[in-house]
Structure 1
Amino acid sequence: MSTYTWLVCVLILPSISALYFHMWETDVKCFVEEVPDETMISGKYKVEVYDDKSEQFVSKDGIGMHVDIKDPEAKVILSKYYTNEGQFVFTTHTPGEHHICLSPNSTRWFSGGSRLRVYLSIDVGEHANDYKQIQAKEKLSELQLRVRQLLEQVDQITKEQNYQRSREERFRFTSESTNNRVLWWAVAQTSILLLVGAWQMRHLKGFFEAKKLV
């Protein structure tokens, strides 16, 4: 694939993941986002509670969500309580896997509690920006806004390339280190076999000489 085609694919495909999932009030759900450093991540969520009477999921006050985010070094980036619908935003400072964990702020530890449906969308990079708000705040024209979007997309592509390059270097270093260890292990095994063989030959020679067989 040419560089041009690869850039077009990256520009066309947005880095957005949207889903919904079910959980109980005592559950914890975690997601992993592998991103480069200095990358903005925005998450929007909405919590609905299952209503036994209507047999549907409905919005209800009183159930919030605790968001806990850790970087690849297990350092806490964000730990905060939100309402039943909200948004969290943070910027990465370390490249790698970032863990985003959601848990309802329920005190029902000894029962399953209510069944919840959580809608979650995670936007990464320039997709986390609210360009309508930026356009209104900075009074940008449509052309200026589009140029800004393209510049930020190119900047994000550069970050991704640098991150993939660093991953490739780490992988190559690990492969070379593994190959060296395998090589030295083979050399050590061969040396041990040669030493054992020499010792056996010497022992057998001494045995034959003692028995006067040679």
Structure 2
Amino acid sequence: MVRPHLRHAVAALLVAYTSGETDRVLVDVAANSRRCLGEEFPEDALGRWKFSVAGVVKHGDLKRNSEAAQKVRATVKDPSKKLLWSAALNDDATNAPAFSFTATTPGLYRACVENRHTKPQRVAITVEQGWGVRDYAAVGEGVFGPVEKQLDDSDHMLRDIAAEMDAALNREERLREGAESGRDRVELFGVVSMGVLFVTALWQVVYLRSFFRSKKLL
């Protein structure tokens, strides 16, 4: 059974994504507790989770505390609840811990934030999915201009689309091979059945002829 705070976090994440305004979700984690949220990833999809501590929640206000932020830990698990990543967080949004992965198993991937501090913490969680996860800034702004980056972006997107089409063709090929193999088995079974019937009929004719001859009816 899904916990109420998990349902609320998932709902907040879905609202953030469908609005198209931002892909960041702010989650308040009570002292010495844990909160989780989930995101569906298809097979072979690229994904990235980012975590940063916005500050200590006190009387509705936020106060930054680097020491307190180090007592907050994030984990990411796959649909089979296998731990994929775990790291302590910080309050530096520009250098926030991030986990990039390729979904080998389709399903619900869950990220949990555990607050080991004595005061509530507000954590910013960013979820990215698809070809946009690639870090194009690492290509080098001093080498490629805006047009080249757009072309490189389009090239990666087309490669992902081509890979999905190839995967679909491979699945179709496997299904066709299975259907042809089943058809061949049915045809072989039909030939064997006809052969058995023919041999049985021939044996009956020979047996009846020998029987009638033994009775001197022929």
TM normalised by structure 2 equals: 0.54
Q: Which residues of structure 1 form unaligned runs of 5+? A: 1-12, 107-112, 167-214
Report the CA distance shift for 1:30/1:51 in structure 2 as closer, same or farther (over 3 A).
closer
> What secondary structure does 2:148 align onto?
helix
Specify the structure having the higher radius of gyration (Cα). 2
| Structure 2 residue 116 is the aligned partner of structure 1 residue 127 | no
Deviation of 1:34 (Å): 1.5
After superposition, the C-alpha distances for 1:50-97 in whole angstroms (9 at most, x for unaligned) are 245xx6202111123212111122221112223234221221242322
Report the CA distance shift for 1:72/1:58 in structure 2 as closer, same or farther (over 3 A).
same
| Structure 2 residue 86 is the aligned partner of structure 1 residue 76 | no
Counting aligned pairs with the same residue, the percent is 15
Question: Which residue in 1 is equivalent to 2:28?
Answer: 22
CA contact (8 A) 2:29 2:114 kept: no
Question: Which residue in 2 is equivalent to 1:149?
Answer: 153
CA contact (8 A) 2:115 2:121 kept: no
Distance 2:164 2:37 in 1: 20
> What secondary structure does 1:120 align onto?
strand
Distance 2:79 2:73 in 1: 20
Return the letter of the residue paired with 1:84. D
Higher normalized contact order (CA 8 Å, seq sep 6+, divided by chain length): 1
| Structure 2 residue 110 is the aligned partner of structure 1 residue 117 | no
Distance 2:144 2:122 in 1: 39
Distance 1:160 1:78 in 2: 27
> What secondary structure does 1:154 align onto?
helix
Count residues in correspondence.
143
| Structure 2 residue 119 is the aligned partner of structure 1 residue 104 | no
Distance 2:77 2:149 in 1: 33
Question: Which residue in 2 is equivalent to 1:202?
Answer: none
Q: Superposition RMSD on alpha carbons, in Å?
A: 3.1
| Structure 2 residue 101 is the aligned partner of structure 1 residue 91 | yes
Deviation of 1:159 (Å): 6.5
Distance 1:158 1:31 in 2: 31
TM normalised by structure 1 equals: 0.55
Q: Which residues of structure 2 form unaligned runs of 5+? A: 1-18, 172-218
CA contact (8 A) 1:35 1:160 kept: no
Report the CA distance shift for 1:94/1:28 in structure 2 as closer, same or farther (over 3 A).
same
Report the CA distance shift for 1:67/1:145 in structure 2 as closer, same or farther (over 3 A).
same
Report the CA distance shift for 1:118/1:80 in structure 2 as closer, same or farther (over 3 A).
closer
CA contact (8 A) 1:21 1:117 kept: yes
CA contact (8 A) 1:37 1:159 kept: no
Distance 2:90 2:61 in 1: 20
Deviation of 1:157 (Å): 4.7
Match of 2:47 among 41, 61, 79: 41
Distance 1:156 1:95 in 2: 17
